[in-house]
Structure 1
Amino acid sequence: MTSAIRNAIAIAAAAALLGACASKGQPTAQYDFGPLPQASAPAPAAIGALIVADIAGPNALDTERMQYRLLYADARQSRPYAYNQWTATPFQLMTQRMKARIAQAGVKVLSTTDAAASPTVLRMEVNDFAQNFDSATSSTGVVDLRASLFRNHKLVDQKTFTRSSPAPSPDAAGGAQALAAATDAVTADVLAWLATLPPQKE
Structure 2
Amino acid sequence: MAVLVFLSACSLPLPDKPTRPEPYDLGPPLALASSTTASGPALALDAIEATQAIDGTAVVYRLMYSGDGQQPRPYAQARWTMSPPQLVTQRLREGLAATRPVVDVGMGLAPVELRARLDEFAQIFSAPGVSEGVVRLRLTLIAPAAQSTRLLGQHTIVVRKPAPSADAAGGVSALRAATDEAVKQAVAWVQSVPAPAPR
TM-score interval, normalised by the smaller of the two chains: 0.7 to 0.9
1:137 and 2:129 matched: yes
The counterpart of 1:148, out of the listed 136, 140, 158, is 140
1:37 shift after superposition: 3.5
Q: Which deviations, in whole Å up to 9, do the C-alpha atoms of 1:80-101 show, x marking residues without a partner?
A: 1111111111111111111012
- Which position in structure 2 is the counterpart of 1:84? 78
- Which position in structure 2 is the counterpart of 1:16? none
1:36 shift after superposition: 1.9
Give ranges in structure 2 of 5+ residues lacking alignment: 1-16
- Which position in structure 2 is the counterpart of 1:173? 169
Is the contact made by 2:53 and 2:72 (CA closer than 8 Å) also made in structure 1? no
1:43 shift after superposition: 11
Q: Which amino acid aligns with 2:109?
A: A
Relative to its length, the structure with more helix (as a share) is 1
- Which position in structure 2 is the counterpart of 1:159? 155
- Which position in structure 1 is the counterpart of 2:187? 191
Q: Which deviations, in whole Å up to 9, do the C-alpha atoms of 1:105-125 show, x marking residues without a partner?
A: 3221111142x1112100001
1:201 shift after superposition: 2.8
Is the contact made by 1:47 and 1:194 (CA closer than 8 Å) also made in structure 2? no
SS at match of 2:191: helix
1:200 and 2:196 matched: yes
Is the contact made by 1:46 and 1:199 (CA closer than 8 Å) also made in structure 2? no
- The correspondence of residues 1-202 of structure 1 with structure 2, limited to 5 A, is 26-40=19-33, 45-73=38-66, 74-103=68-97, 105-114=98-107, 116-152=108-144, 153-202=149-198
TM-score normalised to structure 2 length: 0.82
Aligned in 2, Cα 1:88/1:121: closer, same or farther, shift over 3 Å?
Answer: same
Q: Which deviations, in whole Å up to 9, do the C-alpha atoms of 1:144-181 show, x marking residues without a partner?
A: 11100001221111111111111112111111111111
Q: Which amino acid aligns with 2:161?
A: S
Q: Which amino acid aligns with 1:123?
A: R
Identity %: 38
Is the contact made by 1:67 and 1:130 (CA closer than 8 Å) also made in structure 2? yes
Bigger Rg, structure 1 or 2: 2
Partners of 2:171 and 2:61 lie apart in 1 by 8
Aligned in 2, Cα 1:138/1:41: closer, same or farther, shift over 3 Å?
Answer: farther
TM-score normalised to structure 1 length: 0.80
Aligned in 2, Cα 1:167/1:44: closer, same or farther, shift over 3 Å?
Answer: farther
Give ranges in structure 1 of 5+ residues lacking alignment: 1-23
